[in-house]
A and B are shown apart, each in its own frame.
Chain A
């Protein structure tokens, strides 16, 4: 493609690609993000390609692979346009039928369509699906329509038009003002007003300025940014172009997590294509604005999601945070003023410039405008990525969009904000999801990770899980985080092992307060959140572990026992054979099978093997007559700490 040397040439190209892509043309679109591919989307794509070729339809029907459509639960899925039929749970062997019935004859094949829980209703069209109905897919819509490695697809759907508009008809202060009026707040978790952040950087006088995209997405269970980068990398580039123009930056970096190879590849291709067209480089679109963009790959450190640590990592140093002030807007990359924003924040920028600050500010709540992408995972029927207006309640998210809890279980909590967040209990499900309501409830919205937990989840174990994670990810610089987090972990581990004392709960709280207030960076400052929020809402579970030595959720290894229900047991010997430590005795058909709890390592193999579900986990460890302690499980990371500090 030819380099665009002027605004006119840009609009010409836009008209050309639009004309080549009439909206009602026949298309088959396969959702092929990392999760889609993991489930076999590529095989489905190949099957479509072959089936279309066999019927000589390759020229008539556009087949494409896009980024994630968001409905991960039913992948591999395909969208057939222009009808809008949504097929789910596809396998290569189904495809020939679909091509014949739907593409050739225009009929819906009901067995491949999403049904509701009891099968009474079928939803043939994507827009009818309960999963999509309540969403506000400002950003994710394009994920469904564009091929991420084709810049033309993006251009045809108003791609880079916002940048062209800003560059040609808005002054830099006007762009910043539009950002401020929109009310956009950082989507990475901090929630800082974006317009204000840009203004700080804009005001600095310097010969060199930078803009950076934080694509580190370290929260486990969150993959919103990955889907945006895999499915629509150009929207991030466009956002950064607008931001660079506004603050006066000449150089930009996208810091991508190493664990996202497809995102890295798609970004590389996108940057090359943009450069080829002259949207990156010198004298963009014939103006005096020049901007170069580079990628910087992370190397596996959660703390590098913190902005000062991220900057050090781009500088090829150890990713250790530093004290702020000075803030990156004053002194960032190599000491120059730097504006850092999250992927989703940048992605919202072109929309706001195109459709206006008022359009954006009309969505959401008073203090939290616009829409937000969440990764709804865990014990939920419709696992996936959802984009909803701010202010939607947790209840709507879990039940209307998420489809509720599977396996007839009861919801216990929704964990938001990743390791920096907390757990919202079931009785607070009517809370609106926005920055402030969640913070008041003791959690944070964070980057968008939302893990649904049911009655089989032990909340003390959840605290332990996050503390283990944070202990490993602590950079080690400041004492409260480096030494305090392992101390909190030690106490919670002791509680999970049945060696907790009442004083432990008080120690936890005082440790948590100090760590929260004194840590150097956000990782340390928020590391007590999982403990504090679970203590606040699930103190009864902690107390059961401490006083009764029982795990009510039947999870903590040392506080449960496995028992065979003699009435149900059919004496088939499977459990005894499955046991790796020979803790089950019994003879075939003699109905004398028994699990010796003091030998049992609670691995669950017997429960899995039992064909009649005669083995169940019960709360409370039943010590044998000689009072032997429960055997310790040996997975590497959940070793019980012995009697350290156990002296009373």
Chain B
């Protein structure tokens, strides 16, 4: 694989930056806990689209940024996002050919895995249990997946990121 084939690295970075902006943009208290994990969704998309460019390492770095931005334990999101990236890259050939609803289901499982790992770290360091609504962001994220997928594919085609 030669370097000339790589295109549009800035677009990938910009999508991650936009996802992080959406993660910290202030919402009213009613909606704060419902915010889908934009960074995880972005990571899953790029892992499916370009598994040879975006994978575990990118997930780790994005996770570190997310930890600093949201004030969680440093490395918590890095761990869960790198695992999500790993499974995503591992299964990308299979997930790519799924119909959209099945893809959304797979994304749901990946998002839940991400939240589960975060929860696991949280309870290990002695945070109190979360309410059941803690899991809603995963459902919302999976429901938004078709939209995210179309949008990002359009971006990708438009700027010929490869």
Q: Do A and B bind each other?
A: no
Binding site for A on B (CB under 8 A): none
Binding site for B on A (CB under 8 A): none
